Chain A
Amino acid sequence: MELLQLAVGGLANGCIYGLVALGFVMIYKASEGVNFAQGDMMMLGAFVALGLGNGDHLGLPFVLAVPLAMAVMFCVGWGVERVVVRRIFGQPQFALVILTIAMGFVFRFVAGAVFGYTPLVMETPYGGQNLNLGGVVIGYADLIAIAVTIVLTVALWAFFAFTRIGLAAQAASQNQLAAYIVGVPVMRVNSLIWGLSGAVATVAGVLYASRGAIDPNIGLLGIKAFAAAVIGGLGSLPGALLGGLIVGLVEPIAGRYAPGEVAQMSPYILMLVVLLTRPSGLISQVQMKKV
């Protein structure tokens, strides 16, 4: 029973890791770059939603505040691509890595300057309510996190697999020049994907905030989500979710049966093992080129 209780909490946690990992994977799918500021975008999204929805700030109703925050973060992601990322177009990957790490610090500073560094709690209509299923207590927040994640993953997967823009984004990531030649507006597609990943990050942020307090440093969760994305296989959306769930489940169980430091290490040990045995992740996207 105790294990089941841990598993439910872990699943909900894992869904949030998975959602942040989805943001990584989307940008990786579209431009083969890694956005290390994804965790900080999640943090910023949560704070925007909090600023719009909480009673002591703007006080909009929750159902209005969240879509509005998503729209704001779409614009932030889109703007970041337009203003900064576009300028290093075509430069080696690690330039983007360093750039996004620096951007993450800027986001953190902005959030800290506006909202301060004391943890804040977001007001949600379902906060603090629990469901009791024969001894296992499940918070509504956990249930909603799991449901929303599954819906979003399927929707994004369909977007990349079936829509014109999704296919164009995949083409752009495999060979920018070739994509240009066949008429893909690579720059526009990139902007759109960055915007979308901002919106997804907001959803993750809101789900995270509804399960506990937030402060500007929760963006560091992005590193863990990144481990999840690598475990699942960078470039695979279902893989990101799978990786997130694995990390989410392993963490509390390791914490239960081993010292706390081991629990902290477990996602990264798992990631190293996956990198060593299956370098391209559980759901592999690397293919040998056929000549």
Chain B
Amino acid sequence: MRVIFKTSYDRDIDLHEHGWERARMALLLGVMALLPFVLGEYYLAEAVNTLIWALAGMGLMIAVGHTGQVSLGHAAFLAVGAYAEAALMNAGLPFLVSFPLAGLIAGVFGGLIALPAARMSGIYLAIATLAVFVIVEELVILLEPITGGVGGQMAPSITILGIGFDRYGALANFYWLCLAVVALTTWGYANLLRSPTGRAFLAVRDSEVSARALGVNVTRTRALAFGLSAGVTGLAGALMGHYIGYFNYELFSIFISINLLLVVTIGGLGSIQGAFLGAILITGVPQLIAILRDNLKAGVGIDLSAVPGLDTLIFSLILIGFIIYEPTGLYGRWLKLRAWIELFPLARRDMFRRQKSYLKTERMR
């Protein structure tokens, strides 16, 4: 176990606790950047998918994990981002302008929703976001000139400074683009969390009353967090649109919202790492199931493809298992494991025991 001696405030709020951690991050980024030279086309495309899901997961994590606002309708912001991006690019804007604009549009949309919704708490906010999701889904069909209606919309291919970033033509380039966006967002997110704004998010999550007592403007903080969350999710939506190529409203179904919620819950609420772990799980498990299915068919002769909806069942069971047995998610489990290793053999079983808690009504204010 390493003892860190902090001599200044700057040292205390540093992004990385010690140099080794910084080196590890650089190493990870380096390995990720070298992936296109190692992986084949198929797995590289999956890696892009994972990156996009991680970006969307980070978006939702700002709201759910760090501000305590549960959203059941984040697929709506994915849709807003994707359609805004496609529409702006079709209008002739270059990618470097349209991409941030798409995120901004989704973010402003989210903030506008959050301003009245932020006054609601807990379950009511979740319901309101669900309603917003359904409304956006129908609006997409209604606004046919912009969105292509039921038929769908085509995301034009990206060109920056004459270099092609098309998902099919130049997958490696597209991968590096996504990696850059994800890395920058992660860096910004981590920095946000050590700024006064980020601290205010955490304060609002943990206790609204004490946050207010400490001078945090709760409504504004919540709206800001939700807007940021929607903006980042919108960026992910824009990339998802380019990744899929041709999409219509069915891409952004209620199941995407649930999957996003799955990413943050299984990954570990309240940690950036959790969004990545969750994204890896949610994009990896279907692949594993597919491989397993083929092996079972070839080896034992059991045909699982005859059972529809098996993926959803497995996801649901994983989710139920995590909520019951490990509410802190994969990242929480890793933290426990690391503490156990670092303290070996002094770790005690009761160290992470959950406190008993009882529910109190929200109907009495």
Chain A residues with a Cβ under 8 A of chain B: 31-32, 34, 84, 87-88, 90-91, 93-95, 97-99, 101-103, 105-106, 108-109, 112-113, 117, 173-177, 180, 220, 223, 226-227, 230, 234-235, 259, 261-262, 264-265, 268-269, 271-272, 275-276, 279-280, 285-289
> Within the complex, which residue of B126, B131, B135, B316 is in contact with A102, where a contact is CB–CB below 8 Å?
B316
Min C-beta distance of A78 to chain B, whole Å:
18
Contact A106 B309 (CB under 8 A): no
B contact residues around A223 at 8 Å (CB): 130, 134, 254
Within 8 A of A (CB), among B115-173: 116-117, 119-120, 122-124, 126-128, 130-132, 134-135, 138-139, 141-142
Complex Cα distance A272/B129, Å?
9
CB neighbours of A95 from chain B (8 A): 323, 327
- Check: B324 CB closer than 8 A to any chain A CB: yes
Q: Are A94 and B70 in contact (CB under 8 A)?
A: yes
What are some 19 contacts across the A-B interface (CB < 8 A)?
A32-B361, A87-B324, A90-B356, A91-B357, A94-B122, A97-B123, A99-B319, A99-B324, A102-B317, A102-B323, A108-B312, A175-B361, A265-B135, A265-B139, A269-B131, A272-B132, A275-B128, A288-B365, A289-B365
A105 touches B313 (CB 8 A): yes
Complex interface bits, B311-334 against A, C-beta within 8 A gives 1, otherwise 0:
011011101100110010000000
B123 touches A259 (CB 8 A): no
Nearest A residue (CB) for B310: A109
A-B pairs, top 9 by smallest CB distance, nearest first, are: A268-B131, A102-B316, A105-B316, A90-B357, A176-B358, A177-B358, A261-B138, A102-B319, A94-B70
A84 with B127: in contact, given A109-B313, A176-B360, A269-B135 (CB under 8 Å)?
no
A32–B134 CB distance below 8 A? no
Whether B361 lies near A112 (C-beta < 8 A) is no
Could you tell me which residues of chain B, from 280 to 337, have a CB within 8 Å of some CB in chain A?
307-310, 312-313, 315-317, 319-320, 323-324, 327
Cβ–Cβ contact B138 & A109, under 8 A: no
Q: Is residue B350 within 8 Å, beta carbon to beta carbon, of the partner chain?
A: no
Complex partner residue of A264 from B127, B130, B134, B363, CB under 8 angstroms:
B134
The listed residue (A99, A106, A174, A265) touching B361 by CB distance below 8 A is A174
Are B134 and A99 closer than 8 Å at their CB atoms?
no
Residue of chain B at shortest CB distance from A170: B361
Q: B229 on the interface (CB 8 Å rule)? A: no
**Are B132 and A285 closer than 8 Å at their CB atoms?**
no
The answer to whether A176 touches B359, judged by C-beta atoms less than 8 angstroms apart, is yes
Check B364 for interface membership: any CB of A closer than 8 A: yes
Determine if B308 and A84 form an interchain contact, defined as CB atoms under 8 angstroms apart: no
Q: How many residues of B sit at the interface, in one of the four size bands? A: 35 or more
Q: Mark B244-261, 1 if CB is under 8 A from A, else 0.
A: 000000000010001001
Determine if A112 and B309 form an interchain contact, defined as CB atoms under 8 angstroms apart.
Answer: yes
CB contacts under 8 Å to A, within B84-143, are 116-117, 119-120, 122-124, 126-128, 130-132, 134-135, 138-139, 141-142
Given contacts A230-B127, A279-B120, A261 and B141 within 8 Å (CB-CB): yes
Q: Cβ of B10 < 8 Å from any Cβ of A?
A: no
B314: min CB distance to chain A, Å? 10
Q: How far is the CB of A160 from chain B (nearest CB, A)?
A: 14
The answer to whether A174 and B358 touch across the interface, beta carbons within 8 angstroms, is no
**Contact status A84-B319, CB under 8 Å:** no
Of all chain A residues, the one with the shortest Cβ separation from B255 is A105
Consensus secondary structure, chain B interface: helix
Q: Knowing that A108-B309, A261-B138 are A-B contacts, what are 8 other residue pairs whose CB atoms are under 8 Å apart, sorted by A's residue number?
A: A97-B123, A102-B323, A105-B309, A174-B361, A275-B128, A286-B363, A287-B365, A289-B365
When the two chains form their complex, are residues B134 and A34 in contact, meaning their CB atoms are under 8 A apart? no
Which chain A residues border B50 with CB–CB below 8 Å? none
Determine if B359 and A113 form an interchain contact, defined as CB atoms under 8 angstroms apart.
no
Q: How far is the CA of A246 from the CA of B133 in the complex (A)?
A: 21
Q: In the assembled complex, how far is the CB of residue B356 from the closest CB belonging to chain A, in whole angstroms?
A: 7
Task: Name the residue in B123, B142, B258, B359 with the highest tally of chain A Cβ atoms < 10 Å from its Cβ.
Answer: B359
The residue that B362 contacts in the complex, of A32, A101, A109, A276, with Cβ under 8 A, is A32
A272 to B130: give the CA distance in the assembly, Å.
Answer: 10
Q: Is B49 interfacial (CB-CB < 8 Å)?
A: no
Point out the residues of chain A lying under 8 angstroms from B357, CB to CB: 90-91
Q: Which residue of B lies closest to A31 (CB)?
A: B359
**Is B233 engaged at the interface, CB distance under 8 Å to the other chain?**
no
Smallest distance from the beta carbon of B197 to chain A beta carbons, Å? Answer: 23
Given A177-B358, A223-B134, A261-B138, A93 contacting B123 (CB threshold 8 A): yes
User: CA of A262 to CA of B358 in the docked complex: distance in angstroms?
Assistant: 42
* Cα separation A261 to B23 with both chains bound (whole Å): 53
- Asked if B320 contacts A109 (CB within 8 A), the reply is no
Are A264 and B128 neighbours in the complex by a CB distance under 8 Å? Answer: no
Docked pose: A34 CA to B122 CA in angstroms = 11
User: Is B142 in contact with A261, judged by CB distance below 8 angstroms?
Assistant: yes
| A109 surroundings in chain B (CB, below 8 A) | 309-310, 312-313, 316
In the bound assembly, the distance between CA atoms of A285 and B124 in angstroms comes to 14
Q: Chain A contacts of B363 at CB under 8 A?
A: 32, 174, 235, 280, 285-287
Contact A105 B312 (CB under 8 A): yes
Q: Compute how far the CA of A99 lies from the CA of B125 in the bound complex, rounded to whole angstroms.
A: 17
Chain B residue, CB-CB nearest to A33: B359
Cα A287 to Cα B128 with chains together (Å): 21
Give the residue of B139, B317, B356, B362 whose beta carbon is less than 8 angstroms from that of A106. B317
B265 at the interface (CB under 8 A from A): yes
Q: Which residues of chain B are within 8 angstroms of A175 by Cβ–Cβ distance?
A: 358, 360-361
Contacts of A227 in B (CB 8 A): 127, 131
Complex Cα gap A98–B312 (Å): 14
User: Which residue of A106, A234, A275 is within 8 Å of B316 (Cβ)?
Assistant: A106
Inter-chain contact B138/A264, CB cutoff 8 Å = yes
Q: For the complex, what is the distance from the CA of A288 to the CA of B361, rounded to whole Å?
A: 12
Residue with the greatest number of chain B CB neighbours at <10 A, chosen from A101, A262, A285, A289: A101
Instruction: Assess A265 versus B323: contact at CB under 8 Å? Given A97-B70, A173-B361, A286-B365.
Output: no
